[in-house]
Amino acid sequence: MICSLFFRAVYVACAIFAAHAARAEEAGPSASVATSTRAGAVRPKVPTTETILHYFQGSAANDGATPYVAGLIAADDGSLYGATAQGGVWGGCAGMGCGAVFKLTPPASGVGPWTETILYQFPQAPGGCKGAYPGEIVTDRSGAIYGIAEGGGQIPCSVVYKLAPPQAGQAQWSMTVLAAWTDTIYGQDYPLYLALGPDGALYGVAQNGGSHGYGMIYKVTPNAHGSIDCSSPAGSSSRRCGVTVLYNFTGGADGGSPAGGLVFDASGAIYGSTTLGGAVNCGLGAAQGCGAVFRLTPPPPPTNCGVCAPAQWVLTSIYGFQGGLANDGAGPQGDLIIDSSGALYGVTANGGPANQGTVFRLTPPAAGQTQWSEAILYSFPVTQTHTAPYGSRPFGRLVFDASGNLYGTTVGGGRWGMGVAYMLSPPQQGPAQWNETVLHSFNSTGGQDGSTPLGFAIGKSGALYGMTMQGGSYGWGEVFSLN
């Protein structure tokens, strides 16, 4: 299931996983750090050191396993928070565990091992709607954690949940189901991404389901459902509890199958991307289009309508990807990020001249204009050798540093074909593509490193933190840092 979930999102065949597993069984060198740039790039080598902070051990050790899609959160105190799709309580969810939410605390002295604390383990409990296979998590200023989870319980359902920190004198985090839905018409399939809006509400996407089967955007207002317990059989019997659908994708010009997190601009408008829809017949044989970036705006306030009908949110497709024949990206994946000017940055798993994926920027329209302008900052090349380990199939969240460099990961390519961590630095002048520096090539052979990295979070010190979906000493993935 996890394989189908993840590679449904990133357009990469599950055969890659099988190849990774086969490599892990072979004897070979452990992973090493690579610092190389595209040929012709004027860029000094960047010294980087990978440090393994935690190897996931799986449900046999009551630990998490197989993080997918969900990235890390780097807290101000230096702690890291994340979720894994498997692991946790032993024996649940076909024996693989139904997932867990965890915290990693750095050593007080700054030197030594990090300490993992499991904050919550998803049970395969009878009755009600408890959730399983957690996806993306977010935090608020009080320290509470919010997340999305699919499936689980006697009633197959999806849930949006809240984990509240322990009260004084207690040790356990408390879990509350804020919203639940039990039918694919409400987007049960693949509800992986969640964002905390400026209004305090939670906004998320589901890749499938909805009125047209191409996914939806929804809103959850904490405690809006009053005294109803959305996790109980009674609370979830109506198929939908505590969730408001804002938009149903049609798979046409508006896009389809959203596969990334949402971001907000200063006005409260919501931005995201879809893997399908947009520009139809884009040149890669995808009749459903190469994906789109959209803008969703709140409904205008009602005026002079007496008893007003519910107002509709308005979705605008601001860009449709054209695919490789146009040297454009295809299949955007992972969270968009937004800068202070309102420009959007993201990655596509496919497209570009070599069809290995791209990193793009969308700039808002100039005054008096309506069209957003796209720039391909970097196209990943097809060459993947020990002397040119540039990576392929970018996936996961990008992050900026204080100097304007972008950092990200790929799930393919690199010296061992298991993905890379990379930095993109702006060109010194002109509209040239950004320069890529490979910071690390992942190599899970021998169990000392992970494979299939899932993007970055950046700490206050400037260190990069990430997770891998596979590899490590136990084969269940790892948490790492690059300094």
What span, in angstroms and rounded, lies between the C-alpha atoms of 324 and 9? 19
What tens digit of pLDDT does each residue of 124-153 get?
765 567 788 999 999 999 999 999 998 755
* DSSP string covering 369-428: ----EEEEEEE--S-EETTEE--EEEEEEEEE-TTS-EEEEEEE-STTSS-EEEEEE--S
Mean pLDDT computed over 38-60: 70
Task: For residue 253, count other CB atoms closer than 10 A to its CB.
Answer: 13
Strand locations in 198-325 (E): 202-206, 216-220, 240-241, 244-248, 256-258, 263-264, 270-276, 292-297, 314-320
What tens digit of pLDDT does each residue of 189-224 get?
667 899 999 999 999 998 888 888 899 999 998 765
What span, in angstroms and rounded, lies between the C-alpha atoms of 93 and 221? 29
Q: Assign 361 to helix, strand or coil.
A: strand
Mean pLDDT computed over 264-293: 84
Task: For residue 10, count other CB atoms closer than 10 A to its CB.
Answer: 27
Residue type (1 letter), 135: G
Q: State phi, psi for 134 to the nearest 5 degrees.
A: -65, 145
Higher confidence at residue 35 or residue 434? 434
Higher confidence at residue 469 or residue 383? 469
Give me the architecture of the 2-302+311-482 domain, per CATH: 6 Propeller (2.120)
Q: What is the DSSP letter of 110?
A: S
**Is beta strand 263-264 parallel, antiparallel or unpaired with respect to 270-276?**
antiparallel
Give the pLDDT of residue 47.
Answer: 53
What span, in angstroms and rounded, lies between the C-alpha atoms of 53 and 113? 7
Is the pLDDT at 250 greater than 70, yes or no?
yes
User: Is 464 in contact with 473 (CB distance < 8 Å)?
Assistant: no
Highest mean pLDDT among 155-169, 291-305, 376-390, 412-426 belongs to 412-426
Residue 183 binned pLDDT confidence (cut-offs 50, 70, 90): low
Give the pLDDT of residue 383.
Answer: 63
Is the pLDDT at 330 greater than 90, yes or no?
yes
Residue 69 binned pLDDT confidence (cut-offs 50, 70, 90): confident
Sign of the four-CA dihedral 187, 191, 193, 195:
positive
Residue 5 has which token pair? 């979930």
Mean pLDDT computed over 33-49: 45
Give the pLDDT of residue 223.
Answer: 65
Give the pLDDT of residue 125.
Answer: 62
Q: Assign 234 to helix, strand or coil.
A: helix
Domain range annotation of the chain: 2-302+311-482
